């Protein structure tokens, strides 16, 4: 698996490009893979001892403050509402539910990234409806209606696996311990989910890219800059708290499927293209990180 994992991401991108129509039809299966991934990872740690670290708080406040500041900066400096909203959702977009798979392979602390999987998504469920009350296409929608819509999208994927795993640890510890033995196999489930998600995003770009080539090119370039900025600043923040890899992944690895849904529901539709490109950039970067990690591990063994 060590040799294979470095190439899974580019292979998924290529297959997603070739079979994007297929992925567009069956992308609804990806959440089931993510659900199983979370169950197997949650049972691998004692959820009763899970705590929120200072690093979790810093990354969370960064997303809240910088996303809004970036929106107003782009809006008033360039007068481009599409780009302003794209930058907003690109920074505020919730952390990927499967972050723990890549992060632990790269050496990040499992408890730190697991905690942020939960609180990071809850934060977006609360903050996003507030921002959408004065930004976007649904400003007349009440906070509670908007909150319930966002939470309905996020809650079942994050909350349900957490409570199921917690129930196992409290009432059926042997079952939880047995399932935890399979946590390393989540990589293969993640590869399937990745193929479907990337294919869906590529299919989205194909379907919405006609006659918008210049806008799409601009969104693609800016999304790459934001993506690498996230990983860079996240690693710097994480280094201060003793886990640069966790910081980079928590800020950089996004749940672009939920982000695209929020863009299509609340913002200008073209902003979803920003996250479609972001999905490609973040997975290419993660592929490079895995390759470098495997290369360094091989050098250390020699």
The CATH number of the domain where 138 resides is what?
Answer: 1.20.1530.20
The verdict on residue 256 lying in a domain is: yes
Number of domains in the chain: 1
3-state helix, strand, coil in the chain (%, to 5): 85, 0, 15
The verdict on residue 268 lying in a domain is: yes
The verdict on residue 219 lying in a domain is: yes
* pTM listed for this prediction: 0.87
Residues in contact with 104: Cβ distance below 8 Å, sequence separation at least 6, in sequence order: 110, 113
Cβ count within 10 A of residue 214: 8
The verdict on residue 298 lying in a domain is: no
Tokens of 180: 């935890």
Cα–Cα distance for residue pair 235/250, rounded to 1 Å: 9
Looking at residue 139, what is its pLDDT? 83
The verdict on residue 301 lying in a domain is: no
Query: Do residues 47 and 165 make contact, with C-beta atoms less than 8 angstroms apart?
Result: yes
Tokens of 82: 């599409």
The verdict on residue 267 lying in a domain is: yes
Query: Do residues 223 and 278 make contact, with C-beta atoms less than 8 angstroms apart?
Result: yes
Cα–Cα distance for residue pair 68/40, rounded to 1 Å: 35
The verdict on residue 118 lying in a domain is: yes
Residues in contact with 119: Cβ distance below 8 Å, sequence separation at least 6, in sequence order: 52, 56, 60
**Which residues sit opposite 254 in a β-bridge?**
95
Looking at residue 300, what is its pLDDT? 60
Domain of residue 256, residue span = 2-293
The verdict on residue 213 lying in a domain is: yes
What string of pLDDT tens digits covers the 302 residues of the chain? Answer: 555 666 777 787 788 778 878 887 887 788 888 888 888 888 888 777 788 999 999 999 999 999 999 999 999 999 999 999 999 999 999 999 889 888 988 999 989 999 999 999 999 999 999 999 999 888 888 888 998 889 888 888 888 888 888 888 888 888 888 888 887 778 788 788 878 877 877 777 777 666 677 888 999 999 999 999 999 999 999 999 999 999 999 999 999 888 988 998 899 988 988 998 998 899 889 888 888 887 777 666 55
The DSSP code sequence of 139-198 is TTS-HHHHHHHHHHHHHHHHHHHHHHHHHHHHH-HHHHHHHHTTGGGHHHHHHHHHHHHH
CA nearest 84: which of 268, 228, 260? 268
């Amino acid at each position: 698996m060590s040799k294979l994992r470095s190439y899974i991401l580019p292979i998924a991108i290529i297959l997603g490009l070739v079979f994007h129509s297929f992925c567009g039809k069956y992308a609804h299966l990806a959440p089931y893979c993510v659900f199983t991934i979370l169950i197997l990872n949650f049972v691998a740690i004692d959820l009763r001892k899970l705590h929120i670290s200072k690093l979790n708080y810093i990354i969370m406040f960064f997303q809240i403050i910088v996303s809004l500041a970036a929106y107003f900066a782009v809006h008033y400096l360039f007068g481009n509402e599409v780009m302003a909203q794209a930058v907003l959702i690109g920074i505020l977009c919730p952390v990927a539910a499967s972050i723990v798979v890549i992060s632990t392979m790269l050496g990040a602390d499992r408890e730190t990234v697991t905690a942020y999987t939960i609180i990071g998504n809850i934060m977006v469920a609360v903050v996003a409806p507030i921002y959408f009350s004065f930004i976007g296409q649904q400003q007349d929608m009440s906070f509670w209606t908007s909150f319930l819509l966002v939470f309905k999208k996020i809650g079942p994927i994050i909350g349900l696996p957490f409570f199921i795993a917690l129930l196992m640890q409290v009432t059926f510890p042997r079952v939880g311990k047995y399932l935890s033995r399979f946590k390393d196999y989540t990589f293969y489930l993640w590869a399937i989910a990745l193929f479907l998600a990337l294919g869906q995003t590529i299919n989205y770009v194909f379907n919405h890219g006609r006659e918008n080539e210049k806008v799409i090119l601009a969104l693609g370039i800016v999304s790459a800059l934001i993506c690498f900025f996230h990983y860079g600043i996240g690693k710097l923040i994480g280094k201060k708290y003793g886990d640069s890899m966790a910081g980079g992944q928590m800020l950089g690895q996004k749940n672009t499927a939920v982000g695209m849904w929020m863009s299509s529901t609340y913002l200008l539709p073209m902003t979803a293209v920003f996250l479609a490109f972001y999905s490609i950039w973040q997975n290419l970067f993660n592929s490079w990180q895995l390759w470098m990690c495997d290369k360094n591990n091989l050098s250390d063994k020699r």
